[in-house]
Protein backbone atom coordinates (compact mmCIF):
# COMPACT_ATOMS: atom_id res chain seq x y z
CA UNK A 1 0.00 0.00 0.00
CA UNK A 2 1.11 3.57 -0.64
CA UNK A 3 3.01 4.69 2.44
CA UNK A 4 1.50 8.19 2.35
CA UNK A 5 -2.03 6.76 2.43
CA UNK A 6 -0.96 4.39 5.21
CA UNK A 7 0.34 7.21 7.41
CA UNK A 8 -2.71 9.36 6.66
CA UNK A 9 -5.09 6.58 7.74
CA UNK A 10 -3.20 6.06 11.01
CA UNK A 11 -3.14 9.74 11.94
CA UNK A 12 -6.85 10.13 11.12
CA UNK A 13 -7.67 7.11 13.31
CA UNK A 14 -5.77 8.34 16.35
CA UNK A 15 -7.28 11.83 16.25
CA UNK A 16 -10.89 10.67 15.90
CA UNK A 17 -11.34 9.96 19.64
CA UNK A 18 -9.04 12.83 20.63
CA UNK A 19 -11.19 15.34 18.73
CA UNK A 20 -14.41 13.77 19.95
CA UNK A 21 -13.52 13.78 23.63
CA UNK A 22 -11.76 17.14 23.46
CA UNK A 23 -14.10 19.07 21.14
CA UNK A 24 -17.45 17.29 20.93
CA UNK A 25 -17.82 16.04 24.50
CA UNK A 26 -17.78 19.50 26.19
CA UNK A 27 -20.56 20.64 23.86
CA UNK A 28 -22.66 17.54 24.47
CA UNK A 29 -22.15 17.72 28.25
CA UNK A 30 -23.23 21.34 28.37
CA UNK A 31 -26.32 20.59 26.32
CA UNK A 32 -27.19 17.90 28.88
CA UNK A 33 -27.03 20.52 31.65
CA UNK A 34 -23.63 19.64 33.11
CA UNK A 35 -22.00 22.51 35.02
CA UNK A 36 -19.16 24.54 33.52
CA UNK A 37 -16.87 23.34 36.31
CA UNK A 38 -17.27 19.70 35.25
CA UNK A 39 -17.07 20.58 31.57
CA UNK A 40 -13.76 22.34 32.22
CA UNK A 41 -12.40 19.24 33.96
CA UNK A 42 -12.76 17.25 30.74
CA UNK A 43 -9.55 18.96 29.64
CA UNK A 44 -7.76 16.51 31.93
CA UNK A 45 -8.62 13.80 29.40
CA UNK A 46 -5.76 15.16 27.28
CA UNK A 47 -3.15 14.29 29.94
CA UNK A 48 -2.08 10.99 28.30
CA UNK A 49 -1.20 12.90 25.14
CA UNK A 50 1.00 15.20 27.21
CA UNK A 51 2.64 12.44 29.25
CA UNK A 52 3.15 9.83 26.50
CA UNK A 53 6.86 10.69 26.35
CA UNK A 54 7.22 8.84 29.67
CA UNK A 55 6.31 5.43 28.21
CA UNK A 56 7.49 5.96 24.63
CA UNK A 57 10.86 4.21 25.31
CA UNK A 58 8.90 1.06 26.21
CA UNK A 59 7.23 1.09 22.79
CA UNK A 60 10.65 1.37 21.13
CA UNK A 61 12.19 -1.31 23.33
CA UNK A 62 9.53 -4.03 23.33
CA UNK A 63 7.33 -5.44 20.57
CA UNK A 64 6.34 -8.56 18.68
CA UNK A 65 8.60 -8.51 15.66
CA UNK A 66 6.81 -11.37 13.87
CA UNK A 67 4.20 -8.81 12.79
CA UNK A 68 6.63 -5.92 12.64
CA UNK A 69 7.76 -4.08 15.74
CA UNK A 70 5.67 -0.92 15.38
CA UNK A 71 2.90 -2.57 13.36
CA UNK A 72 2.23 -4.79 16.38
CA UNK A 73 1.73 -1.79 18.65
CA UNK A 74 -0.39 0.12 16.11
CA UNK A 75 -2.78 -2.77 15.45
CA UNK A 76 -3.07 -3.61 19.17
CA UNK A 77 -3.68 -0.04 20.34
CA UNK A 78 -6.09 0.82 17.53
CA UNK A 79 -8.10 -2.37 18.06
CA UNK A 80 -8.39 -1.71 21.79
CA UNK A 81 -9.32 1.90 21.00
CA UNK A 82 -12.22 0.75 18.83
CA UNK A 83 -13.38 -1.70 21.51
CA UNK A 84 -13.23 1.00 24.20
CA UNK A 85 -15.27 3.46 22.12
CA UNK A 86 -17.82 0.70 21.47
CA UNK A 87 -18.16 0.07 25.21
CA UNK A 88 -18.62 3.81 25.81
CA UNK A 89 -21.56 3.74 23.40
CA UNK A 90 -23.44 1.33 25.66
CA UNK A 91 -22.78 3.15 28.94
CA UNK A 92 -25.68 5.07 30.39
CA UNK A 93 -24.62 8.70 30.50
CA UNK A 94 -26.54 9.63 33.68
CA UNK A 95 -25.83 6.55 35.80
CA UNK A 96 -22.24 5.77 34.78
CA UNK A 97 -20.64 9.18 34.33
CA UNK A 98 -17.43 8.40 36.25
CA UNK A 99 -17.00 5.04 34.51
CA UNK A 100 -17.60 6.77 31.19
CA UNK A 101 -14.88 9.33 31.91
CA UNK A 102 -12.49 6.51 32.89
CA UNK A 103 -13.20 4.71 29.61
CA UNK A 104 -12.66 7.94 27.68
CA UNK A 105 -9.31 8.44 29.46
CA UNK A 106 -8.36 4.90 28.44
CA UNK A 107 -9.30 5.61 24.80
CA UNK A 108 -7.09 8.72 24.77
CA UNK A 109 -4.21 6.74 26.31
CA UNK A 110 -4.53 4.09 23.62
CA UNK A 111 -4.59 6.78 20.91
CA UNK A 112 -1.49 8.45 22.39
CA UNK A 113 0.36 5.14 22.46
CA UNK A 114 -0.65 4.43 18.86
CA UNK A 115 0.80 7.85 17.99
CA UNK A 116 4.17 6.90 19.48
CA UNK A 117 4.39 3.84 17.24
CA UNK A 118 3.04 5.67 14.18
CA UNK A 119 5.61 8.46 14.49
CA UNK A 120 8.40 5.89 14.80
CA UNK A 121 7.07 3.98 11.79
CA UNK A 122 6.95 7.21 9.77
CA UNK A 123 10.59 8.00 10.60
CA UNK A 124 11.57 4.51 9.48
CA UNK A 125 9.82 4.54 6.10
CA UNK A 126 10.46 8.16 5.06
CA UNK A 127 13.72 9.54 3.77
CA UNK A 128 14.97 12.75 5.45
CA UNK A 129 14.03 14.70 2.32
CA UNK A 130 10.46 13.37 2.56
CA UNK A 131 9.81 14.26 6.18
CA UNK A 132 8.47 17.73 5.39
CA UNK A 133 5.68 16.19 3.37
CA UNK A 134 5.39 13.49 6.02
CA UNK A 135 4.78 16.17 8.62
CA UNK A 136 2.09 17.63 6.38
CA UNK A 137 0.42 14.21 6.23
CA UNK A 138 0.67 13.93 10.01
CA UNK A 139 -0.91 17.30 10.74
CA UNK A 140 -3.45 17.05 7.91
CA UNK A 141 -4.47 13.60 9.14
CA UNK A 142 -4.98 15.08 12.59
CA UNK A 143 -7.15 17.86 11.21
CA UNK A 144 -9.16 15.39 9.12
CA UNK A 145 -9.71 13.32 12.25
CA UNK A 146 -10.79 16.57 13.92
CA UNK A 147 -13.27 17.29 11.12
CA UNK A 148 -14.87 13.89 11.65
CA UNK A 149 -14.54 13.56 15.43
CA UNK A 150 -15.15 17.21 16.26
CA UNK A 151 -17.60 18.09 13.49
CA UNK A 152 -19.31 15.19 11.72
CA UNK A 153 -19.84 13.17 14.90
CA UNK A 154 -21.26 16.23 16.68
CA UNK A 155 -23.75 16.66 13.84
CA UNK A 156 -24.50 12.92 14.07
CA UNK A 157 -25.14 13.32 17.81
CA UNK A 158 -27.84 15.83 16.99
CA UNK A 159 -29.49 13.44 14.53
CA UNK A 160 -28.69 9.93 15.79
CA UNK A 161 -28.02 10.24 19.51
CA UNK A 162 -25.15 9.09 21.72
CA UNK A 163 -25.08 5.34 21.09
CA UNK A 164 -25.30 5.32 17.30
CA UNK A 165 -22.82 8.19 16.96
CA UNK A 166 -20.16 6.43 19.05
CA UNK A 167 -20.73 3.15 17.22
CA UNK A 168 -20.22 5.04 13.97
CA UNK A 169 -16.92 6.44 15.27
CA UNK A 170 -15.81 2.99 16.49
CA UNK A 171 -16.56 1.56 13.05
CA UNK A 172 -14.34 4.22 11.50
CA UNK A 173 -11.47 3.32 13.85
CA UNK A 174 -11.80 -0.38 13.02
CA UNK A 175 -11.93 0.24 9.25
CA UNK A 176 -8.78 2.36 9.44
CA UNK A 177 -6.89 -0.65 10.83
CA UNK A 178 -7.12 -2.38 7.44
CA UNK A 179 -4.34 -0.40 5.71
CA UNK A 180 -1.75 -1.22 8.39
CA UNK A 181 -2.78 -4.90 8.53
CA UNK A 182 -1.94 -5.19 4.83
CA UNK A 183 1.37 -3.36 5.29
CA UNK A 184 4.58 -5.35 5.62
CA UNK A 185 7.01 -3.65 7.99
CA UNK A 186 10.52 -4.33 6.74
CA UNK A 187 12.69 -2.20 9.03
CA UNK A 188 13.54 -4.28 12.08
CA UNK A 189 14.25 -2.72 15.46
CA UNK A 190 17.03 -4.12 17.58
CA UNK A 191 16.33 -3.99 21.34
CA UNK A 192 19.98 -3.09 21.82
CA UNK A 193 19.27 0.26 20.15
CA UNK A 194 17.18 1.36 23.13
CA UNK A 195 18.70 1.29 26.56
CA UNK A 196 16.30 2.14 29.37
CA UNK A 197 18.05 3.57 32.39
CA UNK A 198 17.38 6.13 35.09
CA UNK A 199 20.74 7.77 34.42
CA UNK A 200 19.92 8.49 30.78
CA UNK A 201 16.57 10.02 31.79
CA UNK A 202 18.02 12.21 34.53
CA UNK A 203 20.93 13.12 32.26
CA UNK A 204 18.48 14.62 29.80
CA UNK A 205 16.97 16.89 32.45
CA UNK A 206 20.42 18.00 33.61
CA UNK A 207 21.28 19.44 30.20
CA UNK A 208 21.65 23.20 29.93
CA UNK A 209 18.35 25.10 29.65
CA UNK A 210 16.20 21.96 29.46
CA UNK A 211 14.13 22.95 32.55
CA UNK A 212 13.39 26.35 30.98
CA UNK A 213 12.28 24.73 27.72
CA UNK A 214 10.04 22.30 29.58
CA UNK A 215 8.41 25.25 31.35
CA UNK A 216 7.80 27.01 28.04
CA UNK A 217 6.36 23.86 26.46
CA UNK A 218 4.11 23.39 29.49
CA UNK A 219 2.50 26.82 29.50
CA UNK A 220 2.74 28.26 25.98
CA UNK A 221 -0.61 26.81 24.84
CA UNK A 222 -2.40 27.38 28.14
CA UNK A 223 -4.35 30.47 27.09
CA UNK A 224 -5.44 28.98 23.77
CA UNK A 225 -6.50 25.74 25.46
CA UNK A 226 -8.57 27.50 28.11
CA UNK A 227 -10.33 29.64 25.53
CA UNK A 228 -10.87 26.72 23.17
CA UNK A 229 -12.29 24.41 25.83
CA UNK A 230 -14.78 26.88 27.26
CA UNK A 231 -15.85 28.62 24.05
CA UNK A 232 -17.83 25.57 22.94
CA UNK A 233 -20.10 25.40 26.01
CA UNK A 234 -20.61 29.15 25.53
CA UNK A 235 -22.05 28.44 22.08
CA UNK A 236 -24.50 26.00 23.69
CA UNK A 237 -25.55 28.69 26.16
CA UNK A 238 -26.14 30.99 23.18
CA UNK A 239 -28.72 28.41 21.98
CA UNK A 240 -26.81 27.19 18.93
CA UNK A 241 -27.68 23.64 17.90
CA UNK A 242 -25.19 20.76 17.94
CA UNK A 243 -25.26 20.75 14.14
CA UNK A 244 -24.42 24.46 13.95
CA UNK A 245 -21.54 24.09 16.41
CA UNK A 246 -20.25 20.99 14.61
CA UNK A 247 -20.27 22.85 11.31
CA UNK A 248 -18.56 25.97 12.69
CA UNK A 249 -16.04 24.58 15.19
CA UNK A 250 -15.54 21.17 13.61
CA UNK A 251 -15.80 21.21 9.85
CA UNK A 252 -14.98 24.85 9.02
CA UNK A 253 -12.23 25.49 11.59
CA UNK A 254 -10.51 22.11 11.22
CA UNK A 255 -10.93 22.36 7.45
CA UNK A 256 -8.93 25.59 7.46
CA UNK A 257 -6.24 23.86 9.49
CA UNK A 258 -6.26 20.93 7.05
CA UNK A 259 -5.42 23.27 4.17
CA UNK A 260 -2.85 25.20 6.20
CA UNK A 261 -1.05 22.02 7.22
CA UNK A 262 -0.14 21.24 3.61
CA UNK A 263 1.07 24.77 2.98
CA UNK A 264 3.20 24.68 6.13
CA UNK A 265 4.64 21.28 5.29
CA UNK A 266 5.72 22.30 1.82
CA UNK A 267 7.29 25.48 3.18
Question: 84 or 131, which is more confident?
Answer: 84
How many C-beta atoms surround the C-beta of residue 207 within 10 A?
A: 9
Domain-wise residue ranges, the chain = 3-266
Could you read off the pLDDT of 13-24 as tens digits, one per residue?
Answer: 888 888 888 788
Asked whether the predicted pLDDT for residue 200 surpasses 80, the reply is no
Burial state string for 237-266 with b = 16 or more CB within 10 A and e = fewer than 16: eeebebeebbbebbbebbeebbeebeeebe
Could you read off the pLDDT of 97-125 as tens digits, one per residue?
Answer: 889 889 999 999 999 999 999 998 888 88
Superfamily of domain 3-266: MFS general substrate transporter like domains (1.20.1250.20)
Asked whether the predicted pLDDT for residue 151 surpasses 90, the reply is no
Q: What is the pLDDT of residue 196?
A: 62
Q: Which pTM value belongs to this model?
A: 0.83
Mean pLDDT of the 121-146 span: 83
CB-based burial label for 197 (10 Å; 0-12, 13-18, 19+): exposed
DSSP the chain: --HHHHHHHHHHHHHHHHHIIIIIHHHHHHHTT--HHHHHHGGGGGHHHHHGGGTHHHHHH---TTT-HHHHHHHHHHHHHHHHHHHHHTS-TTT-HHHHHHHHHHHHHHHHHHHHHHHHHHHHHS-GGGHHHHHHHHHHHHHHHHHIIIIIHHHHHHHH-HHHHHHHHHHHHHHTTHHHHT--------GGG----HHHHHHHHTSTTHHHHHHHHHHTTHHHHHHHHHHHHHHHHTT--HHHHIIIIIIIHHHHHHHHHHHHHH-
CB-based burial label for 10 (10 Å; 0-12, 13-18, 19+): buried
Asked whether the predicted pLDDT for residue 236 surpasses 80, the reply is yes
Amino acid sequence: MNRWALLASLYVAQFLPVAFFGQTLPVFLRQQGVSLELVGLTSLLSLPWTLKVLWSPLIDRYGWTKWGHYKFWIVLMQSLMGITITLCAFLNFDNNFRLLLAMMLLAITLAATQDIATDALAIGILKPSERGLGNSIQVAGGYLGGIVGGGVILIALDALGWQKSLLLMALGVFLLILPVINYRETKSVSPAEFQLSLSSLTGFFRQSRIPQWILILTVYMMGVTIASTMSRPLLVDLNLSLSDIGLMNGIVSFGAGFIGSFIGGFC
